[in-house]
């Protein structure tokens, strides 16, 4: 009788363990299957609606020393752009609205702001939401296969780190990404690429970081671009000290 009870107890325990294991495996499978693919996320991320953003471009050497830097903040309505450029040859600041462009050149005898009217041919797309859209479009459906997807607290994180030449080429040849710093794509050799794409739960973009290494004249350099503060930039307005003091240079060519 005792043996029967012991056998029954052991059987009950084994069944309980098997049931828990099955539930655990089912839960694990459900969790894994609920993680969307990089292709699915990227397709929806590319449709993100932008009302504002902040972008930083950096050209650094192998020791992470900054060679060139540019920074821009963008507001869609009303259109306001602020940019600060530090390149090999100059340093200047810029304010743009829907009608005018205000520029201040640093390192000159005068720190005056100069005003010009924007013509139809004026281009500042690389300082707007077109930059983010173009950067996202860089990642094709084939490139999407390279990314690892991880569920984050408030959405998803896609990452890639490697030396895929196709992806590197897609990034470097995207003029929206490279034009601000200025890279001669015909004179550089590919290196390692690191990409991090962050989204919310609805797959809207919340952050993008690209670091593309390359060699130029046997010197290793990096092109880095960070897009952040998406739809979180504080309301922008061109300072009255700029608009009132600017020297009017007339209209840009149409």
Decide which of 52 and 62 is more confident. Answer: 52
End-to-end CA separation in angstroms for the chain: 101
What CATH number does the domain located at 38-228 have? 2.50.20
Task: Tell me the average pLDDT across 132-155.
Answer: 88
d(CA 132, CA 155): 18
pLDDT at position 113, please?
92
Environment class of 31 (CB within 10 Å of its CB; exposed 0-12, middle 13-18, buried 19+): exposed
Query: Could you tell me if 235 and 75 are in contact, meaning their C-beta atoms sit under 8 angstroms apart?
Result: yes
The dihedral over CA atoms of 55, 191, 88, 196, expressed in degrees to the nearest 10, equals 10
β pairing state of 247-251 and 113-117: parallel
Q: Quick check: 14 pLDDT over 60? A: no
d(CA 193, CA 175): 17
What's the whole-number average pLDDT of the chain?
82
Q: What is the largest CA-CA distance in the chain?
A: 105
pLDDT at position 33, please?
52
Domain boundaries, the chain: 1-34, 38-228
Q: How many helices (H) and strands (E) does the chain have?
A: 7, 12
Q: Quick check: 21 pLDDT over 60? A: no
pLDDT in tens, 98-137: 889 999 987 655 678 999 987 755 667 677 878 888 888 8
Q: Quick check: 191 pLDDT over 60? A: yes
């Amino acid at each position: 009788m005792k043996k029967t009870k012991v056998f029954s107890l052991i059987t009950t325990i084994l069944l309980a363990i098997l049931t828990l294991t099955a539930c655990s495996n089912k839960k694990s499978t459900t969790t894994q299957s609920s993680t969307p693919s990089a292709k699915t996320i990227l397709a929806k991320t590319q449709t993100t609606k932008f009302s504002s953003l902040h972008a930083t471009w950096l050209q650094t050497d192998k020791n992470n020393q900054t060679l060139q830097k540019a920074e821009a903040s963008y507001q869609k309505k009303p259109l306001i752009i602020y940019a600060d450029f530090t390149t090999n040859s100059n340093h200047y600041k810029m304010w743009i609205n829907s009608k005018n462009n205000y520029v201040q050149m640093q390192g000159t005898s005068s720190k005056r702001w100069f005003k010009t009217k924007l013509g139809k041919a004026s281009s500042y797309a690389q300082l707007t939401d077109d930059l983010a859209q173009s950067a996202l479009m860089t990642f094709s459906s084939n490139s999407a296969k390279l990314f690892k997807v991880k569920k984050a607290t408030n959405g998803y994180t896609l990452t890639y780190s490697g030396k895929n030449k196709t992806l590197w080429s897609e990034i470097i040849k995207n003029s929206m990404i490279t034009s601000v710093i200025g890279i001669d794509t015909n004179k550089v050799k590919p290196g390692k690429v690191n990409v991090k794409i962050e989204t919310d739960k609805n797959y809207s973009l919340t952050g993008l970081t690209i670091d593309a290494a390359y060699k130029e004249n046997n010197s290793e350099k990096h092109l880095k671009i960070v897009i952040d503060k998406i739809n979180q930039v504080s309301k922008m307005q061109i300072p009255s000290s700029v608009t009132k003091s600017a020297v009017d240079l007339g209209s840009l060519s149409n």
